[in-house]
Structure 1
Amino acid sequence: MNLYPLKFKPIYKERIWGGTKLNSELNKDAEGDLIGESWELSDVKGDVSIISNGNLQGRSLEEVIQQSKEELLGKSVVERFGNKFPVLIKFIDAKQDLSIQLHPHDDLAMKRHNSFGKTEMWYIMQADPGAKLIVGFNKDVSKEEYVQHLQGGTLLDILNYETVKEGDTFFINTGKIHAIGAGVLLAEIQQTSDITYRVYDFNRKDKDGNTRELHTELAVDAIDYKKKDDFKVKYEATKNKHNNMVACKYFTTNYLDINGKLTVNLEERDSFTIYMCVSGSAQIDTSNGSETIQRGETILIPAAIKNLDIKAGSAKLLEVYI
């Protein structure tokens, strides 16, 4: 199969906390006023991405992996993950606060749900003045103390708040309690998993008058109760260079601020590469075809493509690979 830079149809998710910034800020065409997520690249069962460009248009990511897995994913990725695409790529618009939640680690998720855990990272694309995230606790707490606060309605008193602006980046390891706050638009990179333990949802009700399911019992054994300052990512922003942001066993993410042309050699990378455009627009040229991406778009470069040029008057990209 002759693989080329692949674009996909966004999968829109209505959420109780969603808004309209995916359309107004990122030029999406989602219908509705409560669109919280655009799944850009997904291999989650029931939500598998469909190719939107070139001669593979209309084919699913799953189909192409089955037919050309090493060419698409890379040999080392196939050895680790088999036929599964190992990351899930999203843009998220929080008009209201998300629920306070956490994700279990791999062992616990596999034991309970036959799934990977969910390590993730966030890049803030836009934030209203004063917008915040919740990340971790503001002090060490015991399991018993946490339960007391949860039952007593004072959980918010022991959580850590971070005011955010464009460019801020956060790494959310498994077990860390967290929530995206109202007024935040972000790019999310995560393990392919949809396992979330929701512990507090502000007692709100959906349009049918129902509260959402909580997972308080499951969460107790999955939470990291220590206060840790390990979540804010410090990174360089040198132009026309690969500036590393996050390197973990599940994904590596670099920040690219391109002005002019950047030649990228992928000979040593035995992995697919994803580019998320978080500002401006860029053209990606390969021997197997060219594509442009603008703010709010994502493109998948198959592992078989080993050289490319990125050209832009001004563009900021997140580069993701295994």
Structure 2
Amino acid sequence: MTIQFVTFGMFIIDEFSFADEQGKPTGKTIGGGGTYATIGARIWLPPDSLGMIIDRGNDFPEDIQNRLLTYGSDIWHFRDDLNRVTTRSRNSYRGEYRGFEYITPRIRLTPRDLEKTRLTRPSSVHFICSPTRALQIISEIQEIEGWNPTAIFEPIPDRCIPEELPSLKAVLPHIAILSPNAEEALSLLSLPLIVTKSAVENAASEFLKMGVGKESSGSVIIRSGALGAYVMTSDRKGRWIDAFWSSAENIGKVVDVTGAGNSFLGGLAAGLSITNGNVFEATLYASVSASFTVQQLGLPHLTVSSDGVEEWNQDSPHRRLEVLRQRQDREIENKNH
């Protein structure tokens, strides 16, 4: 089977501390943008069609191992090194402020890492990094003869700065999907950090002018929280796709947005595979994947019925997809009248 999706994002064990806990960890959960992206794709695709490399250290918790396996053992390619620890981070909360720091060394993944695994030459790849690092990843992909994957680039937040714009312009012609969130997009372009639909639309247009996907055809998808996601293709067609939990009565459904953007892009990759590259349809899949991620702290829960039907958070992704599609169709119909 051709592998449909692989992420170069990392697996991280997230530790949490709160202001009233004197900075000591109060719990741990599965983290890492790569992990969330993989689960976003797994919501739609079988485990043997996607994958992720996990660097497993000598401290890897058994409960986390067991939780990962509930999503399918075929997904995970574990690289073991008993001489080191697993990558860990600390998330500290002080009121509305959330701090993040790595507390162990990071191990970056590269396209060459796939060559010794079953994950070699997937149809689409996802990476979360600076534009400068993205250039290095694209260069390594180009060195592998006969491989031209759909490249989905998610800029890392702290490098969405004007200084990275030259590197971004250099890498964009090789990128099929550029997807910052709204604040990141505005920051890269040195625009006021006031998120409105018109500001997001203008930012998407600016990125397309820089040549997204010039070597084929590219799209910009700016993830904008409750406003939804704005999709603009290389032919300048633009459309807003709703966030699934966008209505006021669903406000309580959003518990924690950590990983929502990552899982959105995993869902997008799956949607592109399922819809034969229709980016607007694929974004519906992306929005549904994100809708499961925000319902709890950590990853959504997968259960399988006795007749083999999968449910996520005790709901059907396909049901949510149809609800969202009907909502979008109504909005388009109302605009045309």
Q: With the length of structure 2 as denominator, give the TM-score of the two structures.
A: 0.28
Q: Which has the bigger relative contact order, CA under 8 A and spacing at least 6?
A: 1
Higher helix proportion (structure 1 or 2): 2
